[in-house]
Amino acid sequence: MKERSFGAVVIDEKGRYLLVKHRYGRHWDFPKGHMEGDESPLEAALREVLEETGLELELFGEHVLKSTYSPKAGIEKTVDFYIGRGIGIVEIQEAEIEDCGYFSFEEALMKITYEESKAVLREASVLIAERNKRRYNDK
């Protein structure tokens, strides 16, 4: 059985990464969730970030990072992650999120529960650094 989810690697103006502790599973990861109705993958990701954290997202291009893993026997799950800056004040959805916080790259790498999401963090950090370098050189 195949399953898909959509979410985002969210950073703040200081370049810290937003992680949430999911109430079910009690793992630290990026905000993410399932598609509803006829949403596009991007619409699902933006809605999930907003629902779980109260933040809107300013996208950093159209990069999609993928994570594939097996949460349970017989299930293959793929998560598409967009990258962007969170806009607003974090207000967690207590029904699904137990805790959250912004963390430096090193702190986030240690806090994230699953290796697949650590790989997403590493890939996102490279893309964000390249973006920042391009923006700096354009000034």
The pLDDT score that the predictor gives to residue 13 is 93
Separation CA 88–CA 56 (nearest Å): 7
How many domains does the chain divide into?
Answer: 1
Where on the phi/psi map is residue 94: left (φ > 0), alpha (ψ -120 to 50), or beta? Answer: alpha
The pLDDT score that the predictor gives to residue 133 is 82
Q: pLDDT tens across 66-109, in order?
A: 999 888 889 899 999 999 999 999 999 999 999 999 999 999 99
Average pLDDT value over all residues in the chain = 93
Adjacent-strand bridge partners of 7: 32, 81
Separation CA 11–CA 115 (nearest Å): 20
Adjacent-strand bridge partners of 66: 80
Instruction: Return the CATH number at 10.
Output: 3.90.79.10
Identify the domain containing residue 100 by its residue range. Answer: 2-138
Residue ranges in 1-139 assigned as alpha helix (H):
41-53, 105-111, 115-138
Instruction: For residue 127, give both structure tokens.
Output: 């893309």
The whole-number average pLDDT for the span 10-29 is: 93
